[in-house]
Chain A
Amino acid sequence: MTVRASAYTVAVLAAFALSPCVSAATPSASMLANTCAGCHGTDGVSIGPATPTIAGMSTEYFVDMMEAYKADEIPSTVMGRIAKGYTKEEIEVLAEHFAKLPFVRPDQQVDEAAANQGAKLHRKFCEKCHEDGGRSSEDDAGILAGQWTPYLRWSMDDFTSDKREMTKKMRKKVTKMLEDHGDEGIEQLLQFYASQK
């Protein structure tokens, strides 16, 4: 009994020592992640039609996005106000949690011809950072393949209307793509990503 009690005490003390706030221990990863499911789907897989899937994102991308929402650097309906409710440490815990979960690609309506054009544009302008046909999430790149189209479309609207900052390399590629192919190019890219299974 003594042994068990002291192990318990140590565990409780450890939990408090790790805690950034005085009142209670930091919630577990699953406890925190459960709060995301109402909008982003169980285990971060959204069944749409617009809210993005957040499973499978790289930890870096997840943290960057949440910090940008917190700082109101990305236009949002509710995400900015919700992101402000989570500490830096909690966001890191969430990032680790969702990075391990599988991104599930839904069936979306696709214009095949546009998607085929989009495939070419993707290889030319996007593949270097959004590798594997936009499937991979490496470093600061989000998953594009199979993400919900309205979300991607609005993200591109925000980027191209200067409401959201692009990295230098992205700005260069997007500017060039728009010069050569215009808004139709963006729509073709969106159709390509929607077509990916």
Chain B
Amino acid sequence: MATNRRTFLKLAVGASAAAASGFPFLCLGAKPRVVIVGGGIGGATAARYLRRADASLDITLIEPKAAYHTCFMSNEVLSGERELDSIRFGYDALKGENINVVSQAAKGVDPDAKKVTLANGDVLSYDRCIVAPGINLDFYAIPGYDAEAAERIPHAWQAGPQTALLRDQLRAMPDGGTVVIAPPRHPFRCPPGPYERVCQIAHYLKHNKPKSKIIVLDPKDKFSKFGLFKQGWANHYGYGTDNSMIDWVSAKQGGEVSAVDAKQMSITASAGTFKADVMNVIPPQGAGMIAVDADLVDASGWCPVNEQTFESTRYPGVYVIGDASIAGPMPKSGYAANSQAKVCAAAVVASLRGEPMPAPSWVNTCYSIIAPEDCVAVSAVYRLGAEGKIVAVEGAGGLTPEDASPEMRKRAVAYAHSWFRNITRDTFG
């Protein structure tokens, strides 16, 4: 390894000089190495789009799990509209595209030595590193709610076993039970997600346990698609009437949670202490732990990046995409991560070839399924603005109008499901 390293370092020095002069890295004959940390939507998309851009790159994806469960559409698993297996995606297609998939956890990224250390002690050198770690759940934020409590009170905000746990608890709950959902404060993964979850759980209860209630304890006074969700809750689940299945407690009404008691199955907010049959606490979040350990985060707990390329503003040669990055007005969504990964892949390839950074283009659409025939969406198209910042194109995007016809909302369900199939195929092959 020592000689290889020396050779590599010589090459790297030569390459940096060459890159600075605009001379393509690839002409040196060394296969540039890109190491991607994290096999979620951002990481897997980056791997595939790097491969599409350049057949000769040495691409390694580091992901400890054998498969990824998408957080998006996992709310349909809770309602029973979809099976858990339908949101599970493996890495066979990536392996078939000559991407090295390493089933290990990354333990550290050293941006100076350009090395990633794995849990088993292996060290991988890279020319460029893309960090796509998703979120880390802050288990210190709410007294009584830690990783152990999450085995009893699921967050289900990283899909998979947590999703199954929450689904099974809902199924086991007696009719007339109380479900408490506690969404986090901003910023967090999938801003409309907790409120779509309220819809999907209400849909399940309405048809299976109609005497049950959902209490939402919220540290916010407003949330994504606010008007559309409240309208949807009213249209389908009695919201605003004496017979509402949903009781939303805003911050002003004392919705901010101060403690959770997993043994007593109770949750305390300033509005009072609530006993629950099923609880879903979604704690506050920050960038995935590897990004914290690698010092890629700033004081906000998220990763600042050059918004044209997603290269970290803290360490050159390391790029951060997806939920962990601070991407201007883009939400922390699966579609945003997919879109950012493609921009980042193009930037990485350009940087390795010593070419000017490509002009980026991004898009996002978040569908929320309120009921089986009622879906709403928010969209935006993004460009690089004058100051090198991501901006939403004015006059484009926005919400489903509240007066959209039932027919269009029904079509949106089929388009949401099509989006799910197409984006997961685009990401995982």
- The finding on whether chains A and B are genuine partners in a shared complex, rather than unrelated, reads yes
The chain A residues found within 8 Å of chain B, CB to CB, are: 1, 4-5, 8, 11-12, 15, 19, 21-28, 30-32, 34-42, 46-51, 75-78, 81-86, 148, 150, 154
Nearest A-chain residue to B53, judged by Cβ: A30
Q: How far is the CA of A8 from the CA of B22 in the complex (A)?
A: 8
Residues of B close to A78: CB separation below 8 A:
365, 377, 379, 400, 412, 415
Q: Which chain A residues border B397 with CB–CB below 8 Å?
A: 81-82, 84-85
- Decide: A82 near B379, CB < 8 A? Known: A35-B361, A77-B415: yes
A101 CA to B339 CA, complexed, in Å? 20
Report Cα–Cα, A75/B426, bound state, in Å.
Answer: 27
Q: A24-B308, A31-B343, A34-B339 are in contact. List 5 more A-B contacts (CB 8 A).
A: A23-B383, A23-B384, A28-B358, A35-B361, A41-B425
- Which of A47, A48, A50, A81 has a CB less than 8 Å from the CB of B379? A81
Q: A38-B419, A85-B393 given as contacts; is B408 within 8 A of A26 (CB)?
A: no
Give the A-binding residues of B (Cβ under 8 A): 21-23, 49, 308, 335, 338-339, 342-343, 346, 356, 358-363, 365, 375, 377, 379-381, 383-386, 393, 395-398, 400, 404, 408, 411-412, 414-415, 417-419, 421-423, 425-426
Which of B346, B385, B400, B423 has a CB less than 8 Å from the CB of A39? B423
Contacts of B49 in A (CB 8 A): 34
Give Cα A5–Cα B21 distance, bound, in whole angstroms.
8
Q: Which residues from B are CB-within-8-Å of A23? A: 383-386
Q: Is B421 a contact of A47 with CB atoms below 8 Å? A: yes
Between A and B, 14 residue pairs with Cβ closer than 8 Å are A1-B21, A5-B22, A8-B22, A11-B356, A27-B360, A35-B342, A35-B362, A37-B422, A38-B363, A42-B425, A47-B422, A84-B381, A85-B363, A154-B411
Interface contact B414-A50, CB-CB below 8 Å: yes
Complex A-B, nearest 5 residue pairs according to Cβ-Cβ distance, in ascending order = A85-B381, A85-B396, A51-B418, A50-B414, A84-B396
Please indicate which of the listed interface residues B23, B404, B422, B423 has the most CB atoms of chain A within 10 Å of its own CB.
Answer: B422
Select from chain A the residue with minimum beta-carbon distance to B401.
Answer: A81
Query: Which of A27, A35, A49, A76 has most B Cβ within 10 Å?
Result: A35
What is the minimal beta-carbon distance from B29 to any residue of chain A, in angstroms? 20
> Is A86's CB under 8 angstroms from B415's CB?
no
Contact pick for A49, options B385, B393, B421, CB 8 Å: B421
Q: Would B383 and A24 count as touching, CB distance under 8 A?
A: yes
| A39 CA to B421 CA, complexed, in Å | 8
- Please give, as numbers and ranges, the residues of chain A lying within 8 Å of B393 by CB-CB distance: 84-85
B385, closest chain A residue (CB): A23
CA separation between A44 and B339, bound complex, in Å? 15
- Overall SS of chain A's interface: loop
User: Which residues of chain B have C-beta atoms less than 8 A from A154's C-beta?
Assistant: 411
Q: Report the Cα distance A51→B420, complex, angstroms.
A: 11
Point out the residues of chain A lying under 8 angstroms from B415, CB to CB. 39, 50-51, 77-78
Residues of chain B with a CB closer than 8 A to A75's CB: 408
Question: Chain B contact residues: over half helix, strand or loop, or mixed?
Answer: mixed
Q: Nearest chain B CB to A134's CB is how many angstroms away?
A: 21
The answer to whether B417 and A49 have CB atoms under 8 Å apart is yes
Give A46 Cβ to nearest chain B Cβ, in Å.
6
Chain B residues with CB under 8 A of A77: 375, 377, 400, 404, 408, 411-412, 415
Q: Within the assembled complex, what's the spacing in Å between the Cα atoms of A89 and B23?
A: 31
Contacts of A28 in B (CB 8 A): 358-359
Cβ-closest chain B residue relative to A33: B361
A101–B143 CA distance with the chains assembled, in angstroms: 55
In chain B, what residue has the closest Cβ to A51? B418
**Bound: A75/B379 CA distance, A:** 16
Is B381 within 8 A of A38, CB to CB? no
Instruction: Give the docked Cα–Cα distance between A148 and B415 (Å).
Output: 11
* Inter-subunit contact A24/B356 (CB<8 Å): no
B21 & A4 in contact (Cβ 8 Å cutoff): yes
A188 to chain B, nearest CB (A): 22
Residues of B within 8 A of A1 (CB): 21
List residues of chain A with CB within 8 A of the CB of B425. Answer: 41-42, 47
Decide if A81 touches B396 in the complex (CB within 8 Å): yes
Closest residue of A by beta carbon distance from B397 = A81
Task: Establish whether residues A49 and B414, one from each chain, have CB atoms under 8 Å apart when the complex forms.
Answer: yes
Query: Which residues of A lie under 8 Å from residue B383 when comparing CB positions?
Result: 21, 23-24
Decide: A37 and B426 in contact? CB cutoff 8 A: yes
Q: Which residue of A lies closest to B418 (CB)?
A: A51
Identity of the chain A residue whose Cβ is nearest the Cβ of B412 in the assembled complex = A77
A89 CB to nearest B CB, Å: 13
Cβ–Cβ < 8 Å partners of A15 in chain B: 356, 359
Q: Smallest CB–CB gap between A162 and chain B, Å?
A: 14
A84 to B380, CA, bound (A): 10
Residues from chain A with Cβ under 8 Å of B23 in the complex: 4
- Closest chain A residue, CB of each to CB of B384: A24
- Closest A-chain residue to B361, C-beta based? A27
> Which residue of B is nearest A77, CB measured?
B412
User: CA separation between A132 and B286, bound complex, in Å?
Assistant: 55
Report the Cα distance A75→B393, complex, angstroms: 21
Q: Would you give the shortest CB distance from B238 to chain A, in whole angstroms?
A: 26
